[in-house]
Amino acid sequence: MDNAPLILIIEDERHIRNFLRSALKTQSYRVLEAEKGREGLSLAASYVPDVVLLDLGLPDMDGIEVIKELRVWFTAPILILSARGQERDKIAALDAGADDYLTKPFGVGELLARIRVALRNRARREVTEGGGTVFAVGGLKVDLEARRVFVDDEEVHLTPIEFKLLTVLVKNAGKVVTHMHLLREVWGPASVDQLHYVRIYMAGLRKKLEKDPARPRYLLTEVGVGYRLADE
Amino acid sequence: MQHALSRLLIPTTPTLLSILALSGLELILRLRGMGYDTLGPLLLFGIVFSSVFVDGIQGYYTAFGISLVSALLASSEEQGAVRIFGLTTLGVTFCIARLKYLRYKAILQSERAEVLYRLSRDLTRRNGKLALLYSAATILRKEVPDTLDFYLVEGNQILKLHGTELKPVDEHLRTLPDWVCRTGEAAGRGTETLSGADALFLPLGTDQHRFGALSVQFRDPSDYYDQDKRKVYETIAKQIGEALERDQEAVNGFQTNLAQEGEKLRSSLLRSLSHDLRTPLTGIQGSIELLKMKLGEGDTPENHELLESVSEELGWLLRMMDNILSLTRFESERVILRKESEPVEDVVGSAVRVLSKRLATHPIEIRLPDSILMVPMESALIEQVLVNLLDNAAKYSDPHTPIEIEVKVEGDMAVFSVSDRGRGIALEDLGRVFEKFERGKPEEIRGIRGTGLGLSICKAIIEAHGGTIQAIPREGGGTIFRFTLPLEVETNG
């Protein structure tokens, strides 16, 4: 029980906290709660949680500030809770060091899936730092070392850029990756005004990997923010 | 202290009256027994009369006086019983008198309050014009011996200042103020125009704006022909006019300001409202899900159904909120779209995913161009259009009928269409479906919930993108919603 992951909720709405706590308890996670940003920061410093769930609209300080202050020393995943229509806030939060977000309203399933991803990424990051991996989800198999990709056991040939894109997504599997992040990783920091590259190459990648590109199974679009590689 | 005492001293009126009647009767009988046959009824009459019929503070004094006399008379007889009754009567009368006095004071106060209230109400209603005229009138009437009257012309109405109020003037008294205000020239007694009138009328206003008229009845009739005296009043009228003009400008500025502020407030209010609503709804939705998980398979189907309908309603609420939010954005600002080139499959796929639960009972057919089609758009908004159209299609067509989404290129436009096999839209309604709060005929929409906002928002979004949207009846039944988006970004920005 004591080894169960510790999750810190920083959210000012009592009812949301209640719901989050009940949902997290179903998975036997340990839960810490803070109503305010300051309180959250000091709880994080004393308990070092495995995941932080952070509401962007806190009464005492800006959520982005909380992320920045946490990221000075804190390496575990931070998940943002935010509303639809706040795509810019989400991007800003992700740029500031958040790992992913949940758009209100979200369901229990979605919440737990994101937490699982966050915990898994953490484990993966620790165990396989620099090591080779084969990533597999559904019929998609990506061998990063051998640079080979299979869909339903059939090999798919990708261009170098497509493969690089897929690699970034695989490394962040289950997490949202912003357009800007992909652009920087794949094309380098000099090409920041070429955002449409990302979309065009993603569309190409999708055509090769998805049976029905309009209803993707693996490469999911987060409208206005970026892409997410499904990992469940 | 005094207040508390007076409260103690005032029992309710019926009690008072019965005490009064009893003690009066007793007094009469006693006095009769002692030979004072007429004094008793007289006293009683005096007390009742003074306390009931004499109004105000005078009643207090009269009743008090009469009862004092009766008490003194009684005491001079040295009859214990009579003295007691006399004193009782004195007390009762005192109470009644006090009651009357308090009521009188209350009436006075409420009248004063009424006047104040009327004044402030009129002041706000008349945008301060009344206040200006009233204070001008009060000051002037104190200072000058002549009789002054003030008229305001508002549209067709001619209003005259009576005390603290503006009242419309009678038909036959309209001519002079009206003429003076329209022409800007003096009229009435002492002038060439309508000299038979009983007063001199001067325009109230500046050279640019005239607001009404000032009438002067000189105490000394020879003053009507004294140009210096008239000049004084002309200056006064002009000064009041300037004040009225400043007030008008302030009001106009204030109203423009108010409209702008109101607009700002409205949109920020709606925005924060939608945020504040979304947060509890998230809590509700999550709790329902948890409940569902806890209920498990073992529970009655009714309970599952109940929870299911709660979450469906929630979904509806949330979609409506998105629509209201977009509508305020489109109505309150000059919308600046954050357009980016997006592959159409991204938005189509995302919209279908958002609505996957709602569309579960309909087969969805998606047809996209073979090559990747990039269209400049603000993707979240176009996604919303598609969500609204798909939601509509699902709402107005039977389960298991297909819903088709197609995107193709026609000239320099991308053409999107969402088609259903629903009940269709009557020809005469096709043009109106995009109007705000338009929702088909009542018999067609029974049991289907909508805000009538969805399609009007679609139209606003598409038009902001430089495209068009229309509803087309479909061959073989159903409706096609078709919208276009330009493929090229306009270079003029």
Over the stretch A183-209, which tens digit does the pLDDT of each residue have? Answer: 988 988 777 677 788 888 998 899 899
Tell me how many residue pairs between chain A and chain B have CB atoms under 8 A apart: 116
> Which of A27, A26, A30 minimizes the C-alpha distance to A8?
A30
Asked if omega into A105 is within 30° of 0 (cis), the reply is yes
Angle among Cα B203, B205, B208 to the nearest 5 degrees reads 115
**Where is average pLDDT lowest: A72-76, B120-124, B342-346, B348-352?**
B120-124
CA distances from B475 to A83, A198, B423, B483 (A): 41, 40, 12, 18
Structure tokens of B7?
């409260």
What CA–CA distance (Å, rounded) separates B454 from B444?
A: 17
| 3-state DSSP assignment of residue B378 | coil
CATH level 3 topology of A6-126? Rossmann fold (3.40.50)
Name every residue in A having a CB less than 8 A away from some CB of B.
13, 15-16, 18-20, 22-23, 26, 57, 83-85, 87, 104-109, 111, 195-196, 199-200, 202-204, 206-207, 212-216, 220-224
Q: For residues B329-353, give the mean pLDDT.
A: 80
Q: What is the pLDDT of residue B297?
A: 66
B343–chain A Cβ distance below 8 A for any pair = yes
What CA–CA distance (Å, rounded) separates A161 from A156?
A: 14
CB contact under 8 A, B340 and A195: yes
CB contact under 8 A, B290 and A19: yes
3-state helix, strand, coil in chain A (%, to 5): 45, 25, 35
B406–chain A Cβ distance below 8 A for any pair = no
CA distances from B331 to B377, B379, B461, B484, B485 (A): 19, 19, 11, 22, 21
Q: For residues B413-439, give the mean pLDDT.
A: 79
Confidence bin at A79 (pLDDT 50/70/90): very high
Q: What is the pLDDT of residue B119?
A: 47
Q: Would you say residue B200 has pLDDT above 50?
A: yes
| 3-state DSSP assignment of residue B43 | helix
Q: For residues B256-263, give the mean pLDDT.
A: 69
What CA–CA distance (Å, rounded) separates B311 from B360?
A: 15
Which is more confident, B324 or B146? B146
Q: What is the pLDDT of residue B144?
A: 79
Q: Would you say residue B311 has pLDDT above 60?
A: yes
Structure tokens of B460?
């606003």
Q: What is the CA radius of gyration of chain A?
A: 18
Over the stretch A68-78, which tens digit does the pLDDT of each residue have? Answer: 999 999 999 99
Which is more confident, B434 or B401? B401
Q: Would you say residue B130 has pLDDT above 70?
A: yes
Q: Would you say residue A148 has pLDDT above 80?
A: yes
Confidence bin at A135 (pLDDT 50/70/90): confident
What CA–CA distance (Å, rounded) separates B55 from B100?
A: 7
Q: Would you say residue A97 has pLDDT above 50?
A: yes
Q: What is the pLDDT of residue A152?
A: 92
B445–chain A Cβ distance below 8 A for any pair = no
Which is more confident, B141 or B411? B411
* % residues pLDDT > 90 (chain B): 11
Query: Who's near B306: CB < 8 A, 6+ residues apart?
Result: none
pLDDT, averaged across chain A: 87
Q: What is the pLDDT of residue B404?
A: 94
Query: pTM, whole model, 2 decimals?
Result: 0.57
Q: What is the pLDDT of residue A44?
A: 94
* Residue A131 dihedral angles phi and psi, to the nearest 5°: -80, 160
Q: What is the pLDDT of residue B8?
A: 39
> Residue B477's CB: how many other CB atoms inside 10 A?
13
* % residues pLDDT > 90 (chain A): 44
- Note whether A6-126 and A133-229 share their fold: no
Q: Would you say residue B354 has pLDDT above 70?
A: yes
Beta-strand ranges (E) seen in B127-266 are: 147-154, 157-162, 165-168, 187-188, 200-205, 210-217
Over the stretch B67-77, which tens digit does the pLDDT of each residue have? Answer: 666 656 654 55
Q: Would you say residue B194 has pLDDT above 90?
A: no
Over the stretch B154-186, which tens digit does the pLDDT of each residue have? Answer: 878 888 888 878 888 888 888 888 888 888 888
Return the DSSP state at A6. Answer: E
Q: For residues B389-404, give the mean pLDDT.
A: 89
CA distances from B21 to B127, B160, B465 (A): 56, 53, 89
CB contact under 8 A, B343 and A200: yes
Q: What is the pLDDT of residue B11?
A: 43
CATH level 3 topology of A133-229? Arc Repressor Mutant, subunit A (1.10.10)
Alpha-helical (H) ranges within B152-215 are 175-183
Residue B409 Cα to chain centre, angstroms = 51
* % residues pLDDT > 70 (chain B): 64
Structural domain spans, chain A: 6-126, 133-229
What CA–CA distance (Å, rounded) separates B466 from A20?
A: 43
In a mutagenesis test of the A interface, which of B337, B344, B372, B408 is the best target, namely the one with the most A β-carbons within 10 Å? B372
Residues of A in contact with B282 (CB under 8 A): 16, 19, 104-106
Which is more confident, B453 or A54? A54
Confidence bin at B27 (pLDDT 50/70/90): low
